[in-house]
Chain A
Amino acid sequence: GENVEQHPSTLSVQEGDSAVIKCTYSDSASNYFPWYKQELGKGPQLIIDIRSNVGEKKDQRIAVTLNKTAKHFSLHITETQPEDSAVYFCAAKRGSYQLTFGKGTKLSVIP
């Protein structure tokens, strides 16, 4: 089955700096890669996603890049703000198969 590795497990950045979280996946047939943000005491919420036929997608301060050859994808957050502090999860999916999640990255943005 699919295996998703996520790094780093914790990340601290100064407010205004950029943050990058990286994930690798094992199943070359995976074709959908969502990113979820989980705030304290809440359920995960989709923030951005990318399909395998797209190399990069951007939504305001967040962007996701995908390298199919290397089987890795990354989340980029620019101009970080304290409200970006949360746990972020990457995931991979192949067709109608179930989502496989990474183990999460705790991002702390220091004011």
Chain B
Amino acid sequence: NAGVTQTPKFRVLKTGQSMTLLCAQDMNHEYMYWYRQDPGMGLRLIHYSVGEGTTAKGEVPDGYNVSRLKKQNFLLGLESAAPSQTSVYFCASTHGLAATDTQYFGPGTRLTVL
């Protein structure tokens, strides 16, 4: 049981390049989330998914797209990377949406956009 895994761990992009971050969970969780973490800003929600084939915008969705084609995978895409997207990206998942459902986080992807 690996929990939540993220690929890749590190990536450097040039402005304008595109890339996809992959999140996978093996806990059969229904809900998945993408956050970005910036110094002094805490964790901010980018997009989330309440089930296979469904996605929704979070607090800071601009410049990102997501897809949830399979229940266990949640992809985060950057179509045209900008230096402002330099950040550490975390994926998380929960079993349900009950107030007490624990969010399990992946180890993160450190992205640098030059």
**A residues touching B (Cβ–Cβ < 8 Å)?**
6, 9, 31-32, 34, 36, 41-46, 49, 51, 89, 93-96, 98-99, 101-104
The answer to whether A96 and B105 have CB atoms under 8 Å apart is no
Give A36 to B44 CA distance when docked, in angstroms: 14
The answer to whether A43 and B99 have CB atoms under 8 Å apart is no
The answer to whether A31 and B43 have CB atoms under 8 Å apart is no
Most chain B CB atoms below 10 A, which of A43, A44, A45:
A43
The answer to whether B40 and A103 have CB atoms under 8 Å apart is yes
Prevailing SS type, chain A contact patch? loop
The answer to whether B99 and A96 have CB atoms under 8 Å apart is yes
The 8 Å CB contact of A32, one of B48, B58, B90, B99, is: B99
The answer to whether A95 and B99 have CB atoms under 8 Å apart is yes
Question: Mind listing 24 A-B residue pairs with CB under 8 Å?
Answer: A9-B40, A32-B99, A34-B102, A34-B103, A36-B105, A41-B107, A41-B108, A42-B108, A43-B4, A43-B92, A43-B106, A46-B102, A46-B103, A46-B104, A49-B100, A89-B42, A96-B98, A96-B99, A98-B33, A98-B48, A98-B58, A103-B40, A103-B42, A104-B42
